[in-house]
C-alpha cells in the first residue's frame, strides 16, 4: 500500500491501521475438517504452520515462493490477495494510458511490451495479470474468502475473488467499499498438492507462469484434480476442462495428462510477445501434477 502512495496509484485522505484488530491472526482447525486462517496472519506464519505444511503443502510452497523473508514477516494472507497487477504501464512513474489507472485512457500493453502479460481472459481494455502466488494455491484448493461488512459479510470462492477485465477493467477484485477480508477457509486436507513457480531467477521474483495442483489419488489413479495457473490472467486460472478429463487418468501416463491439460488451452489467446507462455504454462501444469503426486499422503 505504501508503494501505491509513492506511485500515485492510491491517494487516500485517511488510512486505518487494522493490524491490531483482535483475533484475526489465528489459524484454527474447523470442525468439519478444514482450516480457518485469520486474514491478518503473516505469510511466514501461515507457510510454516504445522497443519498447513502437513495438510496443504501447495499453500505453504506458494507462500515460500512469494516475495522475500522480510516482506513475508510484514505481509498478511488477506493483504496478499489485495495486491494489484505488476504491469509496468500500471506502475509507471509518468502516467501512461492504462484503464486501471485512468478508466477510458486505453491499454498501453495491448500493443506495447506484453511479454509477461495474460494469455487467458484478457480484453482490449486490459491484458495484465494478477501476481499473487497464494491466490493460485487457494483457487486450486477451492478455498473460501470470508468478508465482513456493516451490512453483513459474505463467503466468496477463491477462484472468483479477482475480477477479469470484461466487466469493470479498473477493478482488481470483488470487494466493495467498506468490505473487509476477515479469514480464509480451506476445505478438507489436501496432502497431495504442490506449487510450481517458473521465473527468470531462482528466488525473489514474480512468476512468468505458476501452477498449483491438488490431487486425490486412488493408488496410481487420479480420482479428482484441482488445477490453477498463476500469472496468466487477471485471476488465478482454473483448468476446469483439464480437471474433468484427469479424473480416472493414470499418474504415470504422461500422454494422457498432457492431452487433458490441452483441453483447457483451447481458449488460450497469446498477445504479440507472449506466445511462449502457452507452452510454458502447459509444461508447468504437467510438472505441478507430477510434483503433487509425489507428495506423501
Partner 1 sequence: MNFHDRHLLRLRVNGEDHSLSDLDPRVTLLDLLRERLQLTGTKKGCNFGECGACTVHLDGQRVNACMILAVSAEGREVTTIEGLANGNALHPVQQAFIDHDGFQCGFCTPGQVMSAAALIEEGHTSSDAEIREWMSGNLCRCSAYPQIVEAVRAAAGRASQ
Interface with partner 1 (CB under 8 A): 2-3, 5-6, 11-13, 15, 17, 19, 67-71, 73-74, 202-204
180 and 76 in contact (C-beta within 8 Å)? no
Q: Name the phi and psi angles at 15, rounded to 5.
A: -120, 130
Closest CA to 181 of 157, 142, 153, 160: 153
Q: Which pairing describes strands 35-38 and 27-29: parallel, antiparallel, or unpaired?
A: antiparallel
Q: How far is the CB of 196 from partner 1 (least distance, A)?
A: 16
d(CA 229, CA 77): 19
Q: How far is the CB of 201 from partner 1 (least distance, A)?
A: 9
Q: How far is the CB of 277 from partner 1 (least distance, A)?
A: 24
59 and 134 in contact (C-beta within 8 Å)? yes
Q: How far is the CB of 124 from partner 1 (least distance, A)?
A: 30
Q: Please list, in sequence order, all residues whose beta carbon lies within 8 angstroms of the beta carbon of residue 221, skipping any fewer than 6 positions away.
A: 248, 249, 250, 251
Residue 89 or 161: the one with the smaller Cβ distance to partner 1 is 89
Residue 9 or 256: the one with the smaller Cβ distance to partner 1 is 9
Q: How far is the CB of 200 from partner 1 (least distance, A)?
A: 14
Residue 70 or 151: the one with the smaller Cβ distance to partner 1 is 70
Q: How far is the CB of 3 from partner 1 (least distance, A)?
A: 6
Q: How far is the CB of 14 from partner 1 (least distance, A)?
A: 8
Q: Please list, in sequence order, all residues whose beta carbon lies within 8 angstroms of the beta carbon of residue 122, skipping any fewer than 6 positions away.
A: 128, 164, 165, 233, 234, 269, 271
Residue 67 or 285: the one with the smaller Cβ distance to partner 1 is 67
Residue 5 or 247: the one with the smaller Cβ distance to partner 1 is 5
Residue 5 or 188: the one with the smaller Cβ distance to partner 1 is 5
Rounded (to 5) percent helix, strand, coil in the chain? 30, 20, 55
DSSP string, 245-264: HHTT-BTT-HHHHHHHHHHT
Q: Which helix (H) or strand (E) holds 290?
A: helix 276-294
Residue 16 or 266: the one with the smaller Cβ distance to partner 1 is 16
Q: Which pairing describes strands 144-148 and 180-186: parallel, antiparallel, or unpaired?
A: antiparallel
Amino acid at each position: 500500500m505504501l508503494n501505491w502512495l509513492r506511485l500515485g496509484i492510491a491517494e487516500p485522505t485517511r488510512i486505518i491501521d487494522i493490524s491490531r484488530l483482535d483475533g484475526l491472526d489465528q489459524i484454527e482447525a474447523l470442525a468439519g475438517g478444514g482450516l480457518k486462517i485469520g486474514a491478518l496472519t503473516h505469510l511466514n506464519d501461515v507457510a510454516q504452520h504445522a497443519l498447513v505444511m502437513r495438510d496443504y503443502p501447495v499453500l505453504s510452497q506458494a507462500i515460500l515462493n512469494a516475495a522475500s523473508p522480510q516482506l513475508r514477516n510484514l505481509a498478511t494472507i488477506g493483504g496478499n490477495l489485495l495486491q494489484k497487477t505488476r504491469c509496468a504501464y500500471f506502475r509507471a512513474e509518468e502516467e501512461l494510458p492504462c484503464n486501471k489507472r485512468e478508466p477510458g485512457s486505453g491499454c498501453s500493453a495491448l500493443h506495447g511490451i506484453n511479454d509477461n502479460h495474460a494469455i487467458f481472459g484478457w480484453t482490449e481494455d486490459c491484458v495484465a495479470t494478477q501476481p499473487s502466488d497464494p491466490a493460485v494455491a487457494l483457487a486450486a484448493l477451492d478455498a473460501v474468502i470470508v468478508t465482513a461488512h456493516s451490512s453483513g459479510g459474505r463467503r466468496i470462492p477463491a477462484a472468483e475473488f479477482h475480477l477479469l477485465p470484461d466487466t469493470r477493467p479498473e477493478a482488481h477484485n470483488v470487494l466493495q467499499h467498506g468490505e473487509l477480508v476477515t479469514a480464509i477457509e480451506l476445505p478438507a486436507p489436501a496432502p497431495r498438492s504442490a506449487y510450481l513457480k517458473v521465473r527468470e531467477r531462482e528466488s525473489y521474483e514474480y512468476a512468468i507462469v505458476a501452477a498449483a495442483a491438488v490431487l486425490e489419488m486412488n493408488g496410481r489413479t487420479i480420482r479428482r484434480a484441482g488445477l490453477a495457473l498463476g500469472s496468466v490472467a487477471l485471476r488465478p486460472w482454473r483448468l476446469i476442462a483439464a480437471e474433468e478429463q484427469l479424473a480416472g487418468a493414470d499418474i504415470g501416463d504422461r500422454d494422457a495428462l498432457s492431452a487433458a491439460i490441452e483441453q483447457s488451452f483451447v481458449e488460450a489467446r497469446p498477445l504479440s510477445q507472449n506466445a511462449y507462455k502457452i507452452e510454458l504454462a502447459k509444461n508447468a501444469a504437467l510438472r505441478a501434477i507430477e510434483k503433487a503426486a509425489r507428495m506423501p499422503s
